[in-house]
Chain A
Amino acid sequence: MSGHENTPEDDVQRDDPMIAAEWALGLLEGEELLAARGKYAADPQFAWRKEWWDGWFAPLTDAMPGAEPGEHVWDGIAARIAAQRPGGAADAPAAPAANVVELQARVRRWQWAAGLSSMAAAVALAWLALAPSPVVVAPALPVAAAAPLVATVPIGETGLRLDVTYIPESERMVVGAVGLKHDGVHDHELWLVPKDGSALQSLGVVAPGEVRSMTLPAAVTAKLGDGAALVLTREPIGGKPEGQEAGPVVAKGAFTRV
């Protein structure tokens, strides 16, 4: 999000502890912010330093006057917790339900790691719970935590964007379209542009205003990597019709490993 900078800023080394400090202060945005979140999840040293700054800055909050929230706030919390309690909503067969619960736990972890809002998590969970096809969960292999890939796809000059996070360990991708609105006439479809020049792979229609989590087929994950590009096309409702050309590209982005 930073424009060109004429003033040299290299007089202070911008190492990880410095990025942790900037993040703790809340200065980061855009890709820098996503990168910091990813590093937090993957690098204990960085996480420690971020929390070190958080701890030191915390006393400053004492200067912020307290305020009484509305009573509905607690009701909302209690209701959300009751709804998310395992076993609180299960008329699905036992085995798939267990899978969904396992997935929910994973997604929750990722949401947490990625620092997305729990409202987003709730949306992703609701979507998972309603997914018509049985959700296949990869066996929980002891995989070394691979660094997530992140991409920001800015939408024109609107200041809005898609936040795309791919977590290699889980083969899941989280697409956040918070702030985007449905125009009622179009859908937008997200495509992976493989680096090897092979055909574009559809990553599905974007759900405006939501954060969705999806499992990617192996054919797609094989093409995913640092530098893989994403494009967003405008399509009729429902996405690109079979046998027709894809619509115009309205936004682009690329994955970076964090």
Chain B
Amino acid sequence: MKLDAKIPDGPLAEKWDRHCFASKLVNPANKRKYDIIVVGGGLAGESAAATLAELGYNVKNFCLQDSPRRGHSIAAQGGINAAKNYQNDGDSIFRLFYDTIKGGDFRAREANVYRLSQISNSIIDQAVAQGVPFARDYGGQLANRSFGGAQVSRTFYARGQTGQQLLLGAYGALMRQVKQGRVEIFSRREMLELVVIDGQARGIITRNMLSGALERHGAHAVVLATGGYGNVYFLSTNAMSSNVSAAWRAHKKGAGFANPGFVQIHPTCIPVHGVHQSKLTLMSESLRNDGRVWVPSRVEDQRPPAEIPESERDYYLEKKYPSFGNLVPRDVASRNAKEQCDQGKGVGDTGLAVYLDFSEAIKRDGAASIRRKYGNLFDMYERITAGDPLREPMQIYPAVHYTMGGLWVDYNLMTNIPGLYALGEANFSDHGANRLGASALMQGLADGYFILPSTIGNYLAGAGTDKINVAHEAFEQAEQDAAGQTAKLLGVKGTRTVDDFHRQLGQIMWNHCGMARNRQGLEKALKLIPELRAEFWQNVLVPGSGQELNQSLERAGRVADFMEFAELMVEDALAREESCGCHLREESQTEEHEARRDDDNYSYVSVWEHQAQDRPKLHKEPLSFENVEPSRRSYK
């Protein structure tokens, strides 16, 4: 596998401009001769599909949902970062870049992160022009709030529904292009295979989820914006249909998978309540602007929170990290919550929760003001738990939320398979070992609105305009493979349901490849996963047929891929014998239980190559830092 990141020369601030100028262009009259497939109905996919169509390309957009307005970006609550410095509080493009690369614990590329930071401002301009109703001050200017890992206010927001509003903005842009005949929408379609001809991505095989029919789609380039793989844990804040399948099928066709072990565990989620729970719900990080995190000072203190006096409360984040306090980055907040609970100071029925308390903010600003800021989150919390955060502290606990790992891409967002691109959470590019809050929306939209539309021309200009022939034997073979997998799943006719297997896989991953990892646990997982996978293929029960709407079959296909992918995650976590960002190897900690990074030996991106018969092969893309000094992250 050849990995060339194609980072442009020149000073950091000029790389992107220089790169755009040096890239080949496709003239406007020729753009209509190119077909581009965009898989995914979230922010990255829709912004890319709409923008490529505006440029004049023919676009086919695929999504699992019944409409392209429902991708899981829609659930992002808190906001989107940009370096506008509207608050005049010392922000700049360089500071957003620095915060992001530091937040990622120096495991991302300088050039990519700087570009993201440069583009951030244009995203806000674009969204406002589309009619996204961001929060505003009385004077009519845009309002900002703070997020973890930053000491400036640079987060733009639309109540607690920022992702929804941004996605509907992109959806509107996409609908406009559908009306103009430049985009064709294929909803309720699942990508089952990538088609590679002469080493180039040339199309996909999809399953029509209503009829079960397999369909061939050819194109000059294929763009995967298919999200993250958090659902490998079964319980996560992801939507139920979020999956790794598209990325995994591309990986099996030769695309490198980068840093699969990097998984963000979000600190503020509603705790697990019972065995039938199907998903976990996030409470936005923005709550930490006004909420104070605490546990009882005494171990196993069972008193209700109101009866615990101030002197017997441990505001452990404020105590340990005085300069960032409750706004430390997510990995630090999560790890500390786990540490408190492991010491027996956790609260609630299960002891696996800490308090997030708004009483001081309510005293300071009044209940009405706090309600205005967080009303919809408080309502959601009350619907799920029957508790009112205005009267008693919330209970929160960390949960799997976002995956920094993804398909390896170069500076152009192209994978190592020519013509195959990956955007948004599906790639690995910008967040290193830990993503800062309000940066996922920023990255998805930077990739889709601005980066891909500027870089894809360079590839297409040399790709030829001949229509792709879907009768080619590579399409035939890929379709047969997809049909074979479906038949195999339906043919097992075992006794255990798909969810049953998925839950067990999730437990293995949470116990051994979750918030804290060690060699012993990871090696155990490497034994347990293949055993479970073998049982899955002997004993899974998938009812119904392949020629109809069959939701069990859909889930079975995704879980089958998770069963393979989980092993790669564990391999990656095992190979990285350092702690960095979200990846805590218990063997590599400071005395204060902070992550101990090892730059001498692990300052690289791990890129895995699939091997049909053997364990995956590790390649390394070294990271070099010329503009920032990789320091030990300190939020004290």
A, B co-complexed: no
